Amino acid sequence: MKKLVPSSSLPWLQHFARGAGSAWVLAAAACGGGDAGSEPGGVFEPQAPMADAPAPAPTMPEPAAPLPLPDDATANEGLPTNIQPPDALPSTPAGAGAAAECTDVAPDATFTCVEQAGWGKCGEAWMQDRCNASCGRCVPGGVTPPSDAVPPDTVPPDAVPPDAVPPVIPLPAGVAPVTPNASPQVRNLLAFLYAEYGKHMLSGQMESTWMPGGADYEIDYVEAVTGTLPAIRGLDFIEYDGVAQRTIEWWERGGIANIRWHWGAPTHGQGYEASQEAVDIDRVLMPGTAEYDSMMDGLERTADELAIIRDAGVPVLWTPFHELNGNWFWWGKEGPEQFIRLWRFMFDYLAVQRGLNNLVWVLGYTGQPNGAWYPGKEYVDVAGADSYGRTEQPQLGMFNAVRNIVGNAMPVAYHENGIIPSAALAREQGATWSWFMTWHTDWLTDENTQQHIRDVFADDFVLTLDELPSLR
């Protein structure tokens, strides 16, 4: 039986519990290949069974002491030495003189004193001796004692409600989102994935849009069978209609969205079949060609949809070019060097040029992960692999193969699966995937027995939507 405890009992959540209502999360004790192929839909490309790759260190490393993440931190670099956790920042002692005491000292490097005052935080205990000027505490010769109320003239009438502005959950030292100026929600989501990696596996379910019941067909099925909902909802820009809205609605229900894109080869149209057409990638990346113009049309449309999601304050687990090192999609047909050019081009356009700072970048290998296809740690937040082998085995060899590429610290996801991996076996074998994502329609309803689905979702190792903390 799963046991719920207040999130404030978990150290990594104590930081954001200051300014938000008490969230509830799962606390459960946790210990510690198979056939792979392309996803279903069209021609199934079976791969040879993969021998278990040499396992990395058998135990997960202890996370480093968390530090607050500054706005100017870059991916996978150490934090500047002058950045200190909030409790270590100097406070101004009372009676030291008005000139010193009335220079604002923000509680951390993320939000300014003006913002903290505008959100009504001046009365919080952790704001004592902080932001004295913005909080209206300045008087001749010193400051007034902390007040439970913010002076009326310091709160603009259209101030953002405190609950609408997320505090930032600290990430492990040396870890930062690869997205420039990542949103607080992205930082919280990535910090959550790091904190839970090796301890819990998040449940995920891919949606379809053509079955009875529409896009909720699989979600409703999981709920009917298990009495709960998956933590992560999988969506696809193969069809744009409703994806942004469903992503926002899922976030508002407390869930996490994972979007992939069956991108039709430039000049070949849209849809699954078009995504398998061959195209000259040199021409795709050459301005002035028809292939380049077609590619940019697709990228711009996708960026527009992701901007709607960004403007709603919603983060996305973004998995473009999935099954990248297979030879069935156009982006994988010309080898690793051309793929890496595509990945980095997309990253620059979405994250830099369009300012889409709501993306967690997920690299999705096939069941045969290959380091030659790795774009670099500056471009990847989470890596993963997939398998449609008809087994409940958690694919330890595939899991270790990804870790041999990206290291033991970065979360590794089972980004697509047919039969759901056994939670008990995953825990016992150490195949501690960050999440699984069961494919839609028959892969959920026919390949997985209802009892197996119930067993996985009821396991303490697996997190469902109702067990997620607020990441807002």
Query: Over the stretch 368-385, which tens digit does the pLDDT of each residue have?
Result: 999 999 999 999 999 999
Beta-strand runs (E) in 41-97: none
Average pLDDT over residues 146-163: 42
Question: Two tokens at 459?
Answer: 């396991």
The residues, any chain, with a CB within 8 Å of residue 62's CB and separated by 6 or more, are none
* Greater model confidence, 100 or 114: 114
Q: What's the chain's length in residues? A: 472
Q: How far apart are the first and last CA of the chain?
A: 28
| Range of lowest pLDDT (74-88, 246-260, 299-313) | 74-88
Buried b or exposed e, range 296-324, using 16+ CB within 10 angstroms: eebbeebbebbbebbebbbbbbbbbbbbb
The CA radius of gyration of the chain, in Å to the nearest whole number, is 24
Round to whole Å and give the CA distance between 339 and 419: 29
pLDDT interval class at 108 (50, 70, 90): low
Other Cβ atoms less than 10 A from the Cβ of 41: the count is 16
Domains of the chain listed by start with CATH number: 4-76+170-467 (3.20.20.80), 86-163 (no CATH)
Residue 251, pLDDT > 70, answer: yes
45 annotated active-site: no
pLDDT at 132: 78
Query: Active site residue: 305, 392, 416, 467, which one?
Result: 416
Query: Over the stretch 124-149, which tens digit does the pLDDT of each residue have?
Result: 655 667 777 777 777 555 555 444 44
Contact 126, 18 (CB under 8 A): yes
| % of the chain surpassing 70 pLDDT | 67
Residue 358, pLDDT > 50, answer: yes
Round to whole Å and give the CA distance between 117 and 159: 9
Residue 94, pLDDT > 90, answer: no
101 annotated active-site: no
Average pLDDT over residues 86-104: 44
pLDDT at 29: 32
Round to whole Å and give the CA distance between 375 and 382: 12
Other Cβ atoms less than 10 A from the Cβ of 458: the count is 15
Query: Active site residue: 323, 334, 392, 447, which one?
Result: 323
